[in-house]
Each structure stands twice: as C-alpha cells, then as structure tokens.
Amino acid sequence: MKETNMALSGAKAKILKALAHQTRIYMVEELAKDEKCVCEFVEAIGSDFSTISKHLSVLKNAGIVQVDKRGQKVFYSLKATCMTNFLDCIENIIKSNLEEQSSMFK
C-alpha cells in the first residue's frame, strides 16, 4: 500500500478507535441532540468526573467533539456531525443482522 494511503487508513483507524467504546458512542449520540456539560454526563452515565473527562478527551483528540469553556464549566458539542449518519448506518446493519438471524429459526 502506498504511504499516503496507509497514513489515511491510520487516521481513519484513530477515529474508529475513539468510537470503540459504548460510553463514547452514547456521548456522541447525546451530543448530536445538543451540547452538554461534563457534569451532565457524570449524572447520566453514573461515572466519576475523571472517567467522563477521559472519554471526552479521546473524542476531542480524534476531532469528533469540540470544547467550549464557560467559567468553571466545560461544554462539549459534536464537531463531526456526520457521525450521526455513520451511527445510523451501524444501527441498520445491526437490525439487518438480527432479521437475518431470526429468519433462520422460522
């Protein structure tokens, strides 16, 4: 494979790795609805502040979310809005797989 193709594939893998955790997928789906403060994720997910911050940092470093600091609070919003289409696509694959599996038992 050419060097540029490998570099691009590596960059894509970095983004996919950032999404490779159910908590981060949940965060992306929630941020698609509206921006959120770290404290809102702490309450909704039930994890401690540092764990939530680490997940958001992974998403930020991958370029998926962006940060807006307002006084003591830090708000996150979805930077890569195309993620919602990608996650919808994955959901469609899951549904299709389930339909195929259930039809095998009919």
pTM: 0.87
Q: Are 23 and 55 in contact (CB under 8 A)?
A: yes
CATH assignment of the domain containing 74: 1.10.10.10
pLDDT at 106: 67
How far apart, in whole angstroms, are the C-alpha atoms of residue 4 and residue 30?
A: 34
Tally of domains within the chain: 1
Residue 8 is part of which domain span? 3-103
pLDDT at 100: 85
How far apart, in whole angstroms, are the C-alpha atoms of residue 46 and residue 41?
A: 8
- pLDDT tens readout for residues 70-104: 998 899 999 999 999 999 999 999 999 998 888 77
- Asked if the model's pLDDT at residue 4 lies above 90, the reply is no
- Asked if the model's pLDDT at residue 2 lies above 90, the reply is no
The alpha carbon dihedral of 81, 85, 86, 90 has a sign of positive
